[in-house]
Every structure is written in structure tokens, then in C-alpha cells.
């Protein structure tokens, strides 16, 4: 008679680390398997599209419900959808590629929609009530038990709420939880001299000095896992009233379906170029590495690079954790030290750090800093008064007719400031505009117009393919002058070639009285 067996299941709640390589949790699991020390027999990776960030009604089962049990995923101040079509598609692609990569390693990914704590509770209830237990094909009895829940730390008010809820649910079910350090940033938190969040300086310049040499400050990325445990034979279903697709195309369609009714800024397309310059963004780890290798092999980090847009355009993949800052740094080191054949024909190869590679590291450190500011200030990230609690500024809101018109002209790219309008139209139509263009638009909206800057931040959240909560809201605070260290100057009336791409000079509907130089210092 066959003996009974027990499947010991580890649940891995995947968050913003949609990659196989340089993934601390997967690396540790793979090492445990290699040493035959794993206390689990099966791995259940779970990814939840959060109902607070994406509209879930596109996944409703029409046989069981006509409305989502969750409130609309809309921004607090202006009521914009929180995730626009560009990011929704990119997001789905990234999750799907992660699923395929896990399958290659012998595992897989369960994709759900809802709230992460509710999905976890449903899974734990299913296993603890023995719904998947039974007799296997060879006649032996199979029981299943969850031995732990692992997930990675993330910054953000809603993210911390999710974490508390996960601990609460697992605690009620008496399942141990382990929260792992988030290691996708350039400088590991454990290597910084700050004992508590309040020790993080209010000046980026001061923070930059404490980080030391950025070439050597980053830890080495972790290798790709060799293999992973299989999925359990029984997988708890998606809770009602939703049904989840089994193809990438259907996931994208479900995410985009609710957005078709969100008719915002539809007038932009009638005034923008018929041939939109292509920004190639396909979600996933492979495309992130492809983009990074393209930067190096095509001279974008050379000593003689003179391109107009000095961005790496890697932010979209960084935001979802498809690639890490320390992976980028490792590629830069190989180029600077001649440790690879990639880019060997490019000026600056094997010549040490140059202005361009140093600038990329500084931009990566800026992402680190804004994340730590979020940790330090918490909900102040979303407050009108900002990090510095500025209660003296007088803001305009959307309750006055003229302010409403200014807001509408802003989101439609009809402010009358050509450089600002070009950036806004490019962002809406492609999901991207350069960092400097974002700053110009944000400074114009928050400082010159004096409108509640959170409305602009929420609009960017909707439009941007590379939206990151700390990066977007932190940068808007700096541009609005409510952060702790505001010191920028911008003039939106420049770069005529760029403007001509997006703004028709004959467009007379723009309020020309607004066309004036914007020079703002902090």
C-alpha cells in the first residue's frame, strides 16, 4: 500500500521584483534546493494585480456579477484613472514574462486580481480546509500544508498597508511570514549610515556625500537560479466574482477594457503628429536587459555622446523590478573596466568612469533617495503641504471656472507654452517624455499657474509607462517647491525641433497669452 505524502508549500507573494536574475528570494530558494536543505517541497508564486491601482471590472465573470466589489481605481484629488493604457499593457507583459521564466525553472506563477491580503486568505483557507487533499493516481493519500509566506519589502503608504494586512491574515491562520529586504536599488540600505528613517538628510547633496563612491557602493547582483520547486498539484481558484485569463492577450484586454470609457484628454490626438515617434517599451526582464545592452553597444554611454535625451529610458523596467540598479551598475563597470566585449568599439571603453556613466549612477541614486524620503515622510508624500509642511502657500483648486480651464488645457497639452505642450502630448500618446521635460511641465503647473500640484502628479500617474510612486510624487514636490531642498531653473521655451514634432505652429486654440518664459529658481 502506498504511503501518505504531504506537500509542504511555500507561498511567494511577488510584488515589484518581476525578474529571475538578482532576485534574493528565488536565489535563496535555489540555494536551499542545491544543498538539499529546503523545508518545503513546492513553491507557489502568486502575483496580484491590485484593485486599488487597476480597474478590475474587466475581469468580472458576467455569469456571477455585473459590478466589481472594489471601488474604482481613481486618484484622490482629480479622479483620474490610476493606471493608463501604456502602463497597463507594459505591466501585463512584465508579469507574463516573469511567469514564463519561472516555468522554465520548473515552477510557475499564479496571477490573480483583487487585494493581496484577500487573495492570500483565500489560498490559506483553501489549503487548510483540505480542498486540494485526496488520493493520488498511484493510490496514496496527499495532504497539503502551507509552511510559510515570503514577500519583499516595498515603500509607500498603500504598500505598507498591504504588508500589515498580510501579516494579520497569516497570523490568524498561524502561518509564519518572512519579509525580505528590497535589493533592487543602487546602494543597499544596510550599507548606508542611517539608523532610522528620520536620519535620512533633507538634502540630496548631503545624501550623495554619505553614499561614497557610486562605482563601488553597489553590491554585486545575484546570479540566475538554477532550478526551483514545482507548483503544488492543486491551485486554489481566483475568488468570485472574477475570472482570470490564461493568455497574455486576454490579460491586456481585461486591463484596457475599463479604460476605453475613461475619455480623458481625447482632443490631444487631433493636434499631434500623424506619425508618432516610437518609444519601444515591451515589458519584461529580457527587454530590460536588451535595452541596457543597446545603450552600451550603441554608444549612449560613450565619452562623446551628444544626444539630446540623456536618459537611459530604463525607468519603466526599474519601476516593476524587471531589472535592478545594481545590475545596471555591473554593466557600467564592465564597460569602464573592459571586462566585456560589449561596447568595445565605443569611445571610452576600458577608460574608467566618464561623465555619462557617472551621471547614470547619480540618477539611480536619486531614485534611492526619493524612496528613502518616502520611508521618512510617509503620507506627507501625498500632502499638498509637502515634506516641509508648507502651510503658507496659497494654491488654486479645480473649483474655479478659470482654474478648471487651465487644468483641462494642461492635460490636453494646450497651455500655450510650446515646450510644455510638446511634453504633455508626447507623454499622453506614448507614455513617456524625458525627465527634463517632466520637470518643465511640473514647474509650470505647480509654480507658475499655482494650481494644486497633486492634480498634475495624478495626471502623470495616469499617463506614464514608468510611473513609480516615490519618483513621481517626490519629483512633483521638488518642482512645486514643497520638498525640503528645491533648487532648479527651467525655461520651457527652447528645443524648437522637439516642439515642432508635437505642436503645430498653426494651432491657434492654445491660449497665447501664456506663452512666456518660465524661469524658476529654488
Neighbours of 276 (CB within 10 A): 14
Q: Is 130 left (phi over 0), alpha (psi -120 to 50) or beta?
A: left
Phi, psi angles (nearest 5°) of residue 396: -95, 145
Question: Is residue 250 a known part of a binding site?
Answer: no
CB 520 within 8 A of CB 488: yes
Tell whether residue 162 is among the known ligand binding residues: no
With a CB cutoff of 8 Å and minimum separation 6, the contacts of 80 are 74, 264, 458, 459, 461, 462
What Rg value do the Cα atoms of the chain yield, rounded?
Answer: 24
DSSP β-ladder status, 141-152 and 134-135: antiparallel
Helix (H, G, I), strand (E, B) or coil at 96: helix
d(CA 514, CA 486): 24
153 contacts 167 by C-beta, under 8 angstroms:
no
Contact in structure between 259 and 55 (CB atoms under 8 Å): yes
Residue 164 buriedness (CB in 10 A; 0-12 / 13-18 / 19+): exposed
Question: Would you call 143 helix, strand, or coil by DSSP?
Answer: strand
466 is in an annotated binding site: yes
Phi and psi at residue 218, in whole multiples of 5°?
-85, 140
Length of the chain: 522
Please state whether 387 falls in left (phi above 0), alpha (psi between -120 and 50) or beta.
alpha
Neighbours of 148 (CB within 10 A): 16
Q: Distance of alpha carbon 493 from its chain centroid, rounded?
A: 31
Instruction: Kindly state the DSSP code that residue 74 receives in the 8-state scheme.
Output: B
Where is 347: in which H helix or E strand? none
CB 105 within 8 A of CB 97: no
DSSP assignments along 158-211, one per residue: HHHHHHHHHHHHHHHTT--EEEEPP--SSS-GGGSS-SSGGGS-S-HHHHHHHH
**Residue 142, H or E segment:** strand 141-152
* Annotated binding-site positions: 466-468
* Annotated binding-site positions for FAD: 466-468
Amino acid at each position: 500500500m502506498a504511503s501518505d505524502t504531504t506537500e509542504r508549500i511555500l507561498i511567494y507573494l511577488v510584488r515589484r521584483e518581476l525578474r529571475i536574475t538578482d532576485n534574493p528570494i528565488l536565489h535563496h530558494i535555489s540555494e536551499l534546493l542545491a544543498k538539499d536543505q529546503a523545508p518545503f517541497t513546492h513553491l507557489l508564486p502568486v502575483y496580484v494585480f491590485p484593485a486599488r491601482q487597476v480597474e478590475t471590472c474587466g475581469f468580472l465573470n458576467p455569469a456571477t456579477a455585473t459590478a466589481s466589489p472594489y471601488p474604482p481605481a481613481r486618484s484622490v484629488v482629480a479622479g483620474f484613472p490610476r493606471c493608463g493604457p501604456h502602463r497597463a499593457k507594459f505591466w501585463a507583459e512584465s508579469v507574463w514574462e516573469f511567469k514564463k521564466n519561472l516555468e522554465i525553472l520548473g515552477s510557475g506563477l499564479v496571477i490573480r486580481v483583487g487585494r493581496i491580503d484577500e487573495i492570500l486568505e483565500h489560498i490559506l483557507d483553501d489549503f487548510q480546509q483540505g480542498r486540494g487533499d485526496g488520493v493520488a493516481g498511484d493510490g496514496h493519500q496527499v495532504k497539503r500544508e502551507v509552511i510559510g509566506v515570503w514577500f519583499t519589502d516595498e515603500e509607500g503608504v498603500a504598500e505598507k498597508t498591504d504588508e500589515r494586512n498580510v501579516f494579520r491574515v497569516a497570523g490568524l491562520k498561524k502561518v509564519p511570514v518572512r519579509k525580505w529586504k528590497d535589493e533592487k536599488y543602487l546602494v543597499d540600505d544596510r550599507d548606508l549610515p542611517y539608523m532610522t528613517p528620520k536620519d535620512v538628510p533633507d538634502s540630496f547633496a548631503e545624501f550623495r556625500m554619505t553614499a561614497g563612491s557610486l562605482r563601488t557602493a553597489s553590491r554585486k547582483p545575484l546570479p540566475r537560479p538554477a532550478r526551483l520547486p514545482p507548483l503544488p498539484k492543486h491551485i486554489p481558484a481566483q475568488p468570485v466574482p472574477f475570472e482570470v485569463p490564461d493568455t497574455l492577450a486576454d490579460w491586456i484586454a481585461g486591463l484596457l477594457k475599463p479604460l476605453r470609457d475613461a475619455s480623458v484628454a481625447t482632443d490631444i490626438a487631433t493636434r499631434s503628429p500623424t506619425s508618432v515617434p516610437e518609444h519601444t517599451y515591451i515589458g519584461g526582464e529580457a527587454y530590460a536587459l536588451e535595452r541596457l545592452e543597446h545603450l552600451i553597444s550603441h554608444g549612449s554611454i560613450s565619452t562623446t555622446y551628444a544626444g539630446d535625451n540623456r536618459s537611459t529610458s530604463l525607468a519603466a523596467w526599474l519601476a516593476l523590478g524587471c531589472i535592478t540598479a545594481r545590475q545596471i551598475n555591473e554593466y557600467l563597470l564592465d564597460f569602464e573596466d573592459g571586462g566585456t566585449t560589449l561596447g568595445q568599439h565605443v569611445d571610452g571603453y576600458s577608460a574608467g568612469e566618464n561623465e555619462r556613466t557617472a551621471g547614470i549612477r547619480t540618477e539611480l541614486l536619486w531614485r534611492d533617495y526619493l524612496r528613502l524620503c518616502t520611508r521618512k515622510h510617509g503620507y506627507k508624500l501625498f500632502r499638498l503641504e509637502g515634506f516641509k509642511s508648507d502651510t503658507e502657500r496659497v494654491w488654486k483648486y479645480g473649483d474655479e471656472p478659470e482654474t478648471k480651464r487651465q487644468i483641462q488645457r494642461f492635460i490636453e497639452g494646450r497651455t500655450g507654452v510650446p515646450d510644455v505642450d510638446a511634453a504633455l502630448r508626447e507623454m499622453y500618446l506614448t507614455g513617456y517624455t524625458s525627465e527634463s521635460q517632466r520637470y518643465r511641465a511640473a514647474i509650470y503647473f505647480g509654480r507658475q499657474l499655482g494650481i494644486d500640484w497633486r492634480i498634475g502628479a495624478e495626471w502623470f500617474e495616469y499617463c506614464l509607462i514608468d510611473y513609480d510612486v516615490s519618483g513621481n510624487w517626490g519629483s512633483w514636490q521638488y518642482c512645486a517647491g514643497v520638498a525640503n531642498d528645491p533648487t532648479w531653473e527651467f525655461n520651457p521655451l527652447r528645443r524648437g525641433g522637439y516642439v515642432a514634432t508635437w505642436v503645430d505652429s498653426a494651432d491657434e486654440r492654445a491660449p497665447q497669452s501664456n506663452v512666456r518664459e518660465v524661469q524658476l529658481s529654488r
